[in-house]
Amino acid sequence: MSRSDRSRLSQATLAFRSKALVATLASVGGFALATSSAVFAQTPAGKVKVGLMLPSSGTYAGLGTAITNGFKQYVDEQGGKLGGLQVEYAIVDDESNPAKAVENARKLIKRDEVDVLVGTVHSGVAMAMAKVARDNKTLMIVPNAGADEITGAQCAKNVFRTSFSMWQPAYAMGKVMADKGFKKVVTLTWNYAAGKQSIDGFKESFTKKGGVVIKDMSLPFPNVEFQPFLTEIAALKPDAVFVFFAGGGAAKFLKDYEAAGLKKSIPLYGSGFLTDGVLQAAGESATGVMTTLHYADGLNNKEDKDFRSNYQKRFNMVPDVYAVQGYDAAQLYEAGLKAAAGKLDQQDKIIAGMQAAKFDSPRGPMAFSKANNPIQNVYLREVKGSLNQVSSIATPNLEDPARGCSL
Ligand code: BEZ
């Protein structure tokens, strides 16, 4: 018997038991009248099993932890429930290893029988997961990985994203840098889907405004031997550098860039992953670096103030974009469960509820495109002390073009 069959059966059993209890109470007259609404209000509505497939080891471990923290914080703020259902977790460390992705995703779907798959950070892993989710018709929420295909050429009704496409923050930065008057830029990234697509998004808007990329450079993920590239940048003398790095590798890059003496002479820019969640590790080397992202410190809206103060209390640290994406993954799933009145076997209604969801995230207003990717503000931020302080909205309500998606 499948999990949704069991869920249907247990819901029917609960309804039967509730009715039987009310009938018994009715037989004792007034007592039943006084308590019947309480009986329905307390009806245990069942459970929902969430599969968290995220990294808890390797260069993206901190990102996986922040997403898990954010997701659990939202659930705990709802009393441990989403849409009236008690939340249980099945957890797998995906190690940011694409070679293990299919096996890990199948384990969560087949062995643990999760109702929703939440993951992951690394684009290569997420694309493999999304294929398993599509093949098994399992609902999936991507709380980070930005590969454009996930909500582009390989989009699917049952695959949502609460983070970004690689295109979004990078495209916004191309305009910012062109408007600042930079003409000649060098790019550097890890050589995998996320890095390549970040550079593509940047180039699309930068070159449209007359900028020229004089050299694209890359190294394998998660290599951090940056020295030869820094030597080449010094020799090329571009007006500025645009990079994609994240997690532990980003902190190392910021330090190496400063240590090579480049920070004073060649301004460094990137998508906000370069500086989000790494400022403690990067220290002074990050100061003044400008990035674009769909979250920033100092947004000053009520949802963000509440989110940050709760996060700080629970985890004793300042939240970052990854925590927000995890928080919103839980919030989005709740919208779907509410639309289906907690009936897990009604996936069409869950999906319709998620598609139509509009909420005030800590990041600002958030809605979903037809391809299930967030439509959101992209902010320009500057590192000041230990914060990615918001400077302005670089592009409001930016929607990914979802190239190749025919939903
Ligand atoms: C990615 O692989 O999609 C990714 C990883 C870390 C930060 C941003 C994107």
What's the mean pLDDT in 62-83?
Answer: 98
Is ligand 1 within 6 A of the CB of residue 146?
yes
* Residue reference for tokens 């969640």: 277
Tell me what the mean pLDDT of segment 120-140 comes to: 98
Over residues 336-364, the mean pLDDT reads 98
Q: With a 6 A CB cut-off, is 194 part of the ligand 1 pocket?
A: yes
In angstroms, the Cα distances linking 173 to 82, 199, 205, 325, 402 are 36, 10, 8, 20, 19
> Cα separation of 230 and 336, whole Å?
47
Summarize the confidence of residues 232-241 as an average pLDDT.
98
- The Å distance, Cα 73 to ligand 1 centre, comes to 22
Distance (Å, rounded) from C-alpha 62 to C-alpha 107? Answer: 23
CATH fold, domain 43-164+301-372, is Rossmann fold (3.40.50)
Task: Read off the pLDDT band of 45 (50, 70, 90).
Answer: low
In the chain, where are the structural domains located? 43-164+301-372, 167-293+381-398
Same fold? 43-164+301-372, 167-293+381-398: yes
CB of 359 within 8 A of CB of 269?
Answer: no
Nearest to 288 by CA among 393, 188, 389: 389
Peptide bond into 55 cis (omega under 30): no
Q: Is the CB of 167 under 6 A from ligand 1?
A: no
Ligand 1 contacts CB of residue 123 (under 6 A): yes
**67 near 143, Cβ under 8 Å?**
yes
Mutate to test the pocket of ligand 1, among 96, 97, 129, 144 (most ligand atoms within 8 A of CB): 144
Whole-number Å distance between alpha carbons of 153 and 122: 18
Indicate the top mutation candidate among 122, 190, 196, 294 to test ligand 1's pocket, ranked by most ligand atoms within 8 A of CB. Answer: 122
Which residues fall within 8 angstroms of residue 372, CB to CB, at 6 or more apart?
A: 151, 155, 157, 159, 160, 161, 354, 355, 407
For residues 24-45, average pLDDT = 35
pTM: 0.90
Pocket probe for ligand 1: among 97, 121, 161, the residue whose CB has the most ligand atoms within 8 Å is 121
Task: Using pLDDT thresholds of 50, 70 and 90, give the confidence band for residue 1.
Answer: very low
Residue 370 in tokens: 């037809």
Residue 98: what are its φ and ψ, rounded to 5°?
A: -60, -30
With vertex at residue 206, the alpha carbon angle to CA 260 and CA 180, rounded to the nearest 5 degrees, is 70
Identify whether the C-beta of residue 194 lies closer than 8 Å to the C-beta of residue 150.
Answer: no
What is the CATH architecture of 167-293+381-398?
Answer: 3-Layer(aba) Sandwich (3.40)
Q: Determine the distance separating the centroid of ligand 1 and the alpha carbon of 273, expressed in angstroms.
A: 8
Nearest to 119 by CA among 50, 62, 193, 165: 50
CA nearest neighbour of 279 among 154, 388, 172, 124: 388
Residue 126 CA to ligand 1 center (angstroms) comes to 10
In DSSP notation, 280-339 reads HHHGGGGTT-EEEES--BT---HHHHHHHHHHHHHHSS---HHHHHHHHHHHHHHHHHHH
Verify whether ligand 1 is closer than 6 Å to residue 98 (CB atom).
Answer: no
- Cα-based torsion angle of the residue sequence 285, 205, 329, 100 in order, rounded to the nearest 10 degrees: -80
Compute the average pLDDT of residues 131-160: 98
- Confidence band for 293, pLDDT divided at 50, 70 and 90: very high
Token readout for 68 is 């898990």
d(CA 310, CA 316): 9
Task: With CA atoms as reference, report the closest residue to 53 among 146, 158, 142.
Answer: 142
CB-based contact 49:3 (threshold 8 Å): yes
User: 310 exposed, middle or buried (CB, 10 Å; 0-12, 13-18, 19+)?
Assistant: middle
Is it the case that residue 313 has pLDDT exceeding 60?
Answer: yes
Tell whether the model's pLDDT for residue 318 goes beyond 70.
yes
